[in-house]
Amino acid sequence: MKVVVNEKEYEVSQGTNALDLLKEFDNEQAKKALVAQVNGHVQDLQAPIKEDAKVKYLTFDDEEGRHTLRHTASHVLAAAVKNLYPDAKLAIGPAIENGFYYDFDRDESFTPEDLVNIEKEMKRIIKKNEREERFTLPRDEAIKLMKEKDEPYKVELIEDLPEDKEISFYSQGDFVDLCAGPHLPSTNKIKAIKLLSIAGAYWRGDEKNKMLQRIYGTAFTNKEDLDNYLNMLEEAKKRDHRRLGRELDLFDLHEEAPGFPFFYPNGMIVRNILEDYWRKIHRENGYEEIKTPMILSQKLWETSGHWDNYRENMYTTKIDDEDYAIKPMNCPGGVLTYKRKLWSYRDLPIRAGELGLVHRHEKSGTLHGLMRVRCFTQDDAHIFMTPEQIKDEVIGVYKLTDSVYKVFGFDYSVELSTRPENSIGTDEMWEQATEGLKSALDSLGVDYRINEGDGAFYGPKIDFHLKDSIGRTWQCGTIQLDMSLPERFDLSFIGADGEKHRPVMIHRVVYGSIERFMAILVEHFGGAFPMWLAPVQAIILTITNRSDDAANELLNKMLFSGIRAQTDLRNEKIGFKIREAQMHKIPYMLILGDREAESGTVSVRTRDGKTINSINQDKIIELLQKEADEKTLSRNWDL
């Protein structure tokens, strides 16, 4: 049997597993490998290779490697809980981004002290270095095994599997769990673990089912990476946009309207800046702005395919005994604006942008500040074009998106998502659309990864994953190519031959949604916005009330110059005023005493503590104007 590893071909006996192969030919890499990819399929290192194969070894640097290590850690968590609390019933325990969790049914609530004991037991299990052994059972025997172990949730999972589905388990010493895998060969590759929190979770995510207890944790291959991750979590707590939104008087959510955010004056300033910048850059790139209704007929959503594919997330209503839906997306309305007249090929591409308010019914347990809400404004644009224009238009959208992210200081990675199972449209449409996106990315020289099966139901897409200042990633921008909606809505244009032809459609966003992008910005900057985004750009602080008139005169000059400024004329010590301005993360404090008032100068202090004494008032206004106009991320002038 022939096996190819790292472009080298080896002759091995049938049934040799990837781990033995690696130990024989590259013992050093064997120490790092966590799982193998055999002919594109990820499997245990100890699983036999049954045919000629191309083998790739995956480490913790690979997503599948991290997933495997953390999934094994979730089994270690379940084993530890069963050792300490035998009455606990097992539900599910997947790996997730940055960690893992396991759901348990137990009469008593887990406490923080319990987590300490469970983590200690997990480390004991890991130190034993028990092998992860996979075995399969016929359906009846699998159910019998789980009933004998008194695991009702596992029995339910098995009963819901297709009858011809192979039922696989993994044993780890005396512990056995229902699982499809893959897993590590043994537990000792989990070098660093930490249990993080406890939460409630309905069985199978259904509010009608029993509430279980979910224990979250994370795992790494070394303690340094774990410590860095835990430090990042602590920093993330300080930057939590929900807390900063309240402290900086930007926005908040109230129990009277769960999932529907309230924006306060400071928040509206930031929001309007984002929207104004969006309009400016889109005008410069050949887009026209449109506005479509929030409520549209059910028939429209049936035509678009959303009624069959997205109905559970839609709010519905009746008007004059007819069924309508509050739009969860702007796309069908954008399609109707295209249909208002018959276009010529000379008119294309048509680029129509919309800041459209949409509503989606999200479950209460998934709501999270501005990150996950029930109403939000998408910065949608829809481009209608000929098939020949696909590549150039995708390149244009990519460049526009790149320029926006650079203004905010974001690095990003790119992902191309392909056809999902519940898709609409023909194979030919999907092939042409996917190739169009690939061709554009390749011509730009973009480094991207393929995310198989994660496209929209109507077309493949390019996703932009932003990396913030503490290393977290956020999916924001997307470019989705769609040949299905033009077909469903019978869109057309008159070609050079005088005949009707079908246009191709791009759906795209840059921010994603105004609300979520604001939340990301708050956490990225820790609330300390660059000056051009700051709700209050400068505050004038008086030392005594003798300078009040001079402060008001300076305020008027700054407001007239377009600088968002305020005064603090309270009868408080200057040190108190400075500390309070710093707490509100105001970029600049202009301090006025008797001497400054008389000479027409100010002393300037930045929110990070740098100072300059006696600078001319007109000069500081000029410098602040320049910084705001240039949209720099930090001060572009010297104190």
Is residue 236 within 8 Å of residue 472, measured between CB atoms?
A: yes
Which tens digits make up the pLDDT trace of 170-183?
A: 999 899 999 998 99
Residue 380 annotated among the catalytic residues of the structure: yes
Among 56, 71, 360, 524, the one annotated catalytic: 360
Instruction: Give residue 27's pLDDT.
Output: 63
Average pLDDT over residues 501-526: 95
Residue 432 annotated among the catalytic residues of the structure: no
Residue 360 annotated among the catalytic residues of the structure: yes
Six token digits for residue 428? 């030919």
Among 56, 214, 241, 461, the one annotated catalytic: 461
Which tens digits make up the pLDDT trace of 455-483?
A: 887 789 999 999 988 888 898 999 998 88
473 vs 487: CA distance, rounded Å: 35
- Name residues whose C-beta falls within 8 Å of residue 280's C-beta, 6 or more positions apart in sequence: none
Among 507, 524, 585, 605, the one annotated catalytic: 507
424 vs 53: CA distance, rounded Å: 34
Six token digits for residue 375? 């109403």
Is residue 128 within 8 Å of residue 187, measured between CB atoms?
A: yes
Q: Which domains does the chain have, with CATH numbers?
A: 2-59 (3.10.20.30), 66-237 (3.30.980.10), 251-293+327-525 (3.30.930.10), 538-629 (3.40.50.800)
Among 213, 298, 378, 480, the one annotated catalytic: 378
Among 379, 380, 482, 568, the one annotated catalytic: 380
Give the up-direction half-sphere exposure of residue 522: CA atoms within 13 A in the CB hemisphere.
Answer: 30
φ/ψ (deg, to 5) at 146: -70, -30
- Report how far apart the first and last C-alpha atoms of the chain are (Å, whole number): 72
Is residue 563 within 8 Å of residue 624, measured between CB atoms?
A: yes
Is residue 293 within 8 Å of residue 333, measured between CB atoms?
A: yes
For residue 208, is pLDDT > 90?
A: no
Among 179, 331, 375, 476, the one annotated catalytic: 331
Instruction: Give residue 414's pLDDT.
Output: 95
Residue 378 annotated among the catalytic residues of the structure: yes
Numbers of helices and strands, H then E, in the chain: 20, 34
117 vs 199: CA distance, rounded Å: 17
Residue 331 annotated among the catalytic residues of the structure: yes
Instruction: Give residue 603's pLDDT.
Output: 95
Residue 271 annotated among the catalytic residues of the structure: no
594 vs 547: CA distance, rounded Å: 6
**Chain position carrying tokens 């509503």:** 359
Among 82, 183, 382, 524, the one annotated catalytic: 382
Average pLDDT over residues 395-405: 96
φ/ψ (deg, to 5) at 43: -145, 165
Average pLDDT over residues 507-518: 96
Computed over its alpha carbons, how large is the radius of gyration of the chain? 29
Nearest CA to 137 out of 179, 191, 93 is that of 179
Please give the model's pTM, rounded to 2 decimal places: 0.84
Strand partners, 417: 451, 461
Residue 62 annotated among the catalytic residues of the structure: no
